[in-house]
Structure 1
C-alpha cells in the first residue's frame, strides 16, 4: 500500500521534471538561456501580487475542468466534452446574470446553479446515449463540443444581443468579482470562484470516498459486467457520472462568465479549458487532491509563460513548444509508471 502511494507521488513529479528538462534542452539548442527562461516563467506567475492574482484566477477553472474529466474517468468514461460543457455553462451563467433582477443572495447562486445545470444537461446527452444505445462517449462528446460552440455564438448574436459580438456586463448582484481581492492583487482578475472550485474538489472527494454512489461509480469503472452481476444499475451510474462531470465543467464556465470576464463574447474557437482539463486530470491521477495540485501547475505554466518573451526574450512559438513538451510528459505518465515498475521488478 505504501509502495503504491509512493508511486502515485513519484510519477507526476518525474513527469514534470522530464518536461522541464526537455524544455531546457530546447531553449539551449535554440540559443536561449533556460535558467533565464524559467526564472521569467516563475516571475510571471509569482513576481508580484498582480501575477499571483492572475495565477489563482487561471487555476480556478482548471480545477473544475480537471474534476469534470477525472470524475468521468473514475467511472470508466472518457469525457472529451468538458470543453462544450464549459461553453454552455458560461452561456447559462451570463444569461441568468443579465435576465434576472434579484438581490445578490438569490441572483449569484441562481446563476451558478444554472451553469452547473447546463453543463449537467450537456453531459447527460452522451451519458444516456452510452447507457441506452452503447454509443461511444468520446464520439458524442466531441460532436457536442462543436454544437455548444456554434449554438452559443448564435444565441449571443440573436437572443442576448442585437447582432453584437459580446453581451453587456453582468450586474454586481451576479458577479463573483471582488473589489477587495482586486485591490489586494493590484487589480488582477482574481475572484471568489477559487473558493467554489476548492469546495467542488471536496465534493468530488466526498462522493467518491464516503458515499454508496461513489462506490458504485468506481465499481462500474473497474468492471461493468461484475457490477451488473452484483446488482448495480450500470446504465444509471453511467448517466449520473456524465451528468455530474458536466456540472463540474459547467461551473468552470460560470467562473469565466461571472468572475473573469463578466460577459460572454462570440468565440472564434474553443476556450481550451476543457481540453487542458484532460491533462490536469491525468497528472492528478483522477483524484480530487491530485487535480487541485495539477491545476496549480497548469495555472503557473499558462500565466508564467506570458512573461517569458519579455523577461527572457524567448519567442512565443518556443514558449508554446516548451509548454507542450511539459504537457506531453505529463500525459505520458503511464509510460513512466510502467518503466518504474519494470525497474522495481528487476531489483527484486
Structure 2
C-alpha cells in the first residue's frame, strides 16, 4: 500500500505542479487584461496543432531534450549538473570547428563527426567538474555553474575574433559546410533532425541506465556511495564518467542548434536551454519518457509564446513566468512528498 501511494505521488506531483503553474499563469494573464482561455488556446493550438508552429516546437524541443537528459544522467548518480548551459556552448563550439573543417566530405560522414565533436567538447566540459568532485572533493554545483560563464565568454571571444565571419556586422562565425548540416524533417520549415538525435539519445540513455551494468553502477553510487565502494565499485571513476556523459549530452544540444538551426556559431546562441533542462529533469522524476514529454511541453510554450502575444495580447514574459512557477511548484511538491513519506515511514 505504501509503495502504491508513493508511485501515485510520483506520477501526480509533476502533473499538479504544471497545472498549478498554468492556473497561476491564468491569473497573471487576467491581470494583464487578457482572456486566459483564449490565451492558452492560442498558445497550444499554434504550437502543437499548426504545421509551422509544431515544426518550431520540435526545433525548440531538441536542445531541451538533450540537455534535460544530461541533467538526469548526473542526477542518477546524485550529482547536480548545473552546467548544462556552458556544456551547450562548448558542444556548439565543437560542432562548429568540425563543421568548418573537412570540406568536400560526404554528409553521411561529416554530420556524425560534427555531432561527435559536439559530444566530446561537452563531455570534457562536464568531466572537469566530475574530476574535481571525485578527486578533490570540490562541490559540482559550484564548478559546473562557474564553468558556464567561462564557456559562454570563451565562445563570445572566439566569434568576435578568430572565428568571426569577415566583415560581419555582429559576432558570429563563418557558415559551417552544408555537408555538416542536419537535414530538415518537415518541408518548408526549420524543423531538423536534431529531434531524432534527442529521441535516439533518450533511448540509449534508458538502455544504459535501466539495462546495463554501468547503469546499475551509476544507480548504486547515487543511492549509497559507501555501499557501492564496499561492493567493489569505483565511486570516483563512476562520478567522472557520469559527469562526462552528462556534459556530452548537453553538448549535443549545442550541436543541434548549430548544425540544425543556425549553421554557424553565434554569441549568446542559447536562450537558456541549459537552465530549463534542470526544471525538465526534476519535473520528469527520473523517467526518460517523462523527460521527452516535459521537453515537448517546454518547447511548446516557448514556441507558442509569440503567437499568444499576437493572438491574445499577452506579453511573452508571462510564458517565462509560467516556467518559473512550474519550477517553484515542483520544489513545493518535493517538500510535500518528503513529508508524506515521512508520515508513512518510507525512507528516501
Tell me, yes or no, whether TM beats 0.5. Answer: yes
Structure 2 matches for 1:164-179, cutoff 5 A?
A: 164=168, 165-178=171-184
Offset of 1:182 from its aligned partner?
A: 4.0
Spell out, residue by residue over 1:76-117, the C-alpha distance to the aligned partner (whole angstroms, 9 max, x if none): 100001110000000110111112221112111100000000
Structure 2 matches for 1:249-268, cutoff 5 A?
A: 249-267=250-268
- Give 2:31's aligned residue: 29
Is residue 321 from structure 1 mapped to residue 321 from structure 2 by the alignment? yes
CA contact (8 A) 2:91 2:254 kept: yes
SS of residue matched to 1:69: helix
SS of residue matched to 1:99: coil
- Give 2:272's aligned residue: 272
- Give 2:198's aligned residue: 197
**CA–CA separation in structure 1 for the residues paired with 2:333 and 2:67:** 19
TM-score of the pair, normalised by structure 1: 0.92
**CA–CA separation in structure 1 for the residues paired with 2:49 and 2:156:** 37
Aligned residue pairs total 339
SS of residue matched to 1:9: helix
The gaps in structure 2 that reach 5 residues or longer are: none
- Give 1:9's aligned residue: 11
Is residue 153 from structure 1 mapped to residue 159 from structure 2 by the alignment? no
**CA–CA separation in structure 2 for the residues paired with 1:90 and 1:96:** 10
- Give 1:212's aligned residue: 213
The gaps in structure 1 that reach 5 residues or longer are: none
**CA–CA separation in structure 1 for the residues paired with 2:303 and 2:156:** 27
CA contact (8 A) 1:95 1:160 kept: no
- Give 1:301's aligned residue: 301
For residue 68 of structure 1, the aligned residue among 61, 67, 70 is 70
CA separation of 1:330 and 1:265: change in aligned 2, threshold 3 A: same
**CA–CA separation in structure 2 for the residues paired with 1:304 and 1:339:** 36
- Give 1:242's aligned residue: 243
CA contact (8 A) 1:88 1:119 kept: yes
SS of residue matched to 2:257: helix
TM-score of the pair, normalised by structure 2: 0.92
CA contact (8 A) 2:25 2:318 kept: no
CA contact (8 A) 1:19 1:330 kept: no
SS of residue matched to 2:100: helix
CA contact (8 A) 1:37 1:311 kept: yes
Offset of 1:336 from its aligned partner?
A: 4.5
